[in-house]
Chain A
């Protein structure tokens, strides 16, 4: 297994690493909204905003899923400490995505929003994915972790489901240019494949439980 002999992440490095994550997630987000407000984001700032925030949420979600494999591969256990931050930024982008959709695309047409969520499978799927991220963000505190005990881990395992839903949402949303979504789906599949033992254990447990009944 690859190992970085020349560098070992130390607790003192963590604030710096987190600072870099804060800056690289927040600055582009604020800058993009600033440009959109000033109508400097191409012909249709609304669609540009939707694309940027949606893709940003997906990228950050994949990054958060990359933390565990990366920490093991590079033997940098402390990396785990940035996972929650990346997950929270993924939710922040997803929140900006859905807010842009409701505020600037549908322009607070609530009946239209409801009918779109029900009628359009790609929006249904995206919305469910967003609800999962919302639940994970709300229970991301140490306090919630203590309170939920064992159930916390099972709840947070639904991040894998969210990743699958987001992939489908992206693929179904494009008209025909499927190259970009395909690349993202492959990345998602690789990150999930890394957890195959976890899924196997989970399935086996399910089957056993069913046999008991």
Chain B
């Protein structure tokens, strides 16, 4: 990882940051193995330069970014976000990146664009998890995710290229990943190569694998349990050791109440 130039976060973190060591060693990135410590072990040889990220589909001006563009086309800023995993653990991460909205606006989306589809790099040579269904936890690669266009354009929605002042480590989704802080972590797709504007709701990887457990929206919601565990509380990974009382109540939309308007009139039990 290399040092990045960015404008520091205007908001002070209300809670303590999760130590960098934890953020870069506890990852769900099945492309590099299904264990939490597999990615940090298997991703170190991952080549991110050269890279191509294309913005395509229902847009007037589709374009592609190469590796250097990722850091130069848009001004970078630090955003300290809570990350809530669907597995009921959470972290506080100082991301560096730019709004997805600024990227989408540059492509001039057509009014028919209702959804945004994302795709992770497909490269079984480099990503051992993609070589077989068994190695990759049953996911049909490449990993795909999607957002409604208004979710994608929300100012909180971030494309991240770094954390803790440096470019992203491979296991955290280098060179560029999505961060949607009010949704469960699996929505924040890593190592993105394609962003496509579309008029249909795109399929998403975890929803394809187990639709009864992982919905399209995946908004953090303490009132809707995962079928196999409660989502009412979470363990904040803090680095304070085994005896730290780090189980805290989970907040609606992970505490980002400003997104509530996006879902007005929707039954969030049905659209979980």
A→B interface (CB under 8 Å): 36-39, 42-49, 104-107, 109, 112, 115-116, 119-120, 122, 172-173, 175-179
Contact = CB atoms under 8 A, between A and B. Distances in A.
B261 interface: no
A66 B37 CA distance: 31
Q: Which residue, A44, A48, A178, has most C-beta atoms of chain B within 10 A?
A: A44
Label chain B's interface by main secondary structure: loop
Contact of A42 (B37, B139, B225, B228): B37
A46 B242 contact: yes
6 contacts: A43-B23, A43-B237, A44-B36, A119-B225, A176-B34, A176-B138
A172 B240 CA distance: 30
B230 A115 contact: yes
A175 B87 CA distance: 9
Given A116-B230, A120-B229, A178-B138, A43 B242 contact: no
B85 to A, nearest CB: 10
Interface of B: 22-23, 25-27, 30, 34, 36-37, 87, 89, 134, 137-139, 209-210, 225, 228-230, 232-233, 235, 237, 239-243, 245-247
Given A47-B89, A176-B210, A106 B229 contact: no
Given A46-B235, A115-B230, A116-B230, A39 B242 contact: yes
A177 B26 contact: no
A147 B232 CA distance: 47
Contacts of B240: 39
Nearest to A112: B230
A48 B37 CA distance: 10
B230 A42 contact: no
